[in-house]
Amino acid sequence: MKINGKTTTCGLIGNPVEHTLSPVIHNNLAKMLGDNLVYVPFLVENEALEDAVKGGHALHIRGMNVTVPHKSAVIPHLCAIDSLAEKIGAVNTLVYQKDGYKGYNTDMSGLLRAMKTEGIRIKDENVLLLGAGGAARAVAYLCAAEGAKKIYICNRTLQKAEEIAAEIGEQVEGASLVALKYEEMEELTETSFLAIQCTSVGLHPNVSDVVLADGPVYDKIHTGVDLIYRPYETQFMKHVKAHGGKTMNGLKMLLYQGIIAYELWNDCTVSETQADSILQMMKEEMGIYE
């Protein structure tokens, strides 16, 4: 593309940033939609976060994505925050406003949109959440807000699951959340679950690791979503599939968090066909040909 005096800049702040797929998403969307926009990664150390946000605003950078380790730390440096991001306590997208940046969490709206395109719904489902870290907390909130019937939060450290269950139980009226350990799962009496894997167990290069060992509980999982996308098929997904369930990895979540950010920055709508083309480009970048 031609960079000229009217080129808009967007970018990503995080540490590290060199393995990000976000430039593939945004620069190809700009090309596809004919927007004069470039997207670049910016390495930002913890102590430079405030300067980076202020500097970005001074430079009229229209939008920024925020990744590890700045998703919560960035909040005090914003002029406004969207209510979903505020409740989750994490921001991954900044949108330029006159007085600073407004923060959003498109990770969760992205996961929801990705699941919808795959025909996976949360409403009235019994949900098994694996993990109780930052990602699991956000997904637990999403499931509660979307009307899951019951949410079981399973974690190695029970106390962390209990804290999330209590906190979200207070935040979302009518939500039903229960904390348990992996060993207690076999005792659940429900027969059908949507399971969402929110831990880092199984992430490249430890591809044979799995947080929930193979066993009869997998027979009850009709759909298994893994937030991991490297490897493209995790051990958790392999177990779900082997027991007859449907699977989805985290790549579409990554795609749609980017698409929703792009839509917020540029006040536009990306179609599903356009989204599919970008997904193919992300897969090519990852060396996945299927």
Annotated catalytic residue: which of 31, 54, 71, 160?
Answer: 71
Nearest distance in Å: CB 63, ligand ATR? 23
Selected range binding ligand ATR among 58-66, 107-115, 125-133, 234-242, rule: CB under 6 A: 125-133
Mapped onto helix, strand or coil, the DSSP state of residue 123 is coil
Verify binding: residue 211, ligand ATR, rule CB under 6 A: yes
Least distance from ligand ATR to the Cβ atom of residue 162, Å: 11
Catalytic, 71? Answer yes
Residues touching ligand ATR, count (CB under 6 A)? 14
Site for ligand ATR contains 135 (CB under 6 A): yes
Using CB under 6 A as the binding rule, whether residue 201 contacts ligand ATR is answered as yes
Query: Minimum distance between the CB of residue 18 and ligand ATR, rounded to whole angstroms?
Result: 19
Q: Return d(Cα 272, Cα 253) in angstroms, integer.
A: 13
Using CB under 6 A as the binding rule, whether residue 136 contacts ligand ATR is answered as yes
State the Cα–Cα distance between residues 240 and 66, nearest whole angstrom: 32
Strands 37-43 and 8-14: parallel
From residue 286, alpha-carbon distances to 12, 195, 226, 249, 283 in Å are 19, 25, 17, 14, 5
Q: Token pair of 139, please?
A: 């997904």
Residue 235 has which token pair? 């051990």
Distance of CA 161 to the CA centre of its chain: 19
**Alpha carbon distance 284, 290 (integer Å):** 10
Segment interacting with ligand ATR, rule: CB under 6 A, options 156-164, 216-224, 229-237, 239-247: 156-164
Residue among 131, 202, 245, 258 that touches ligand ATR (CB under 6 A): 131
The span from the CA of 200 to the CA of 250, in Å, is: 12
Q: Taking CB under 6 A as the rule, does residue 159 contact ligand ATR? A: no
Point out the residues that are catalytic.
Answer: 71
Where do contacts with ligand ATR occur on this chain (CB under 6 A)?
131-136, 155-157, 160, 199-201, 211
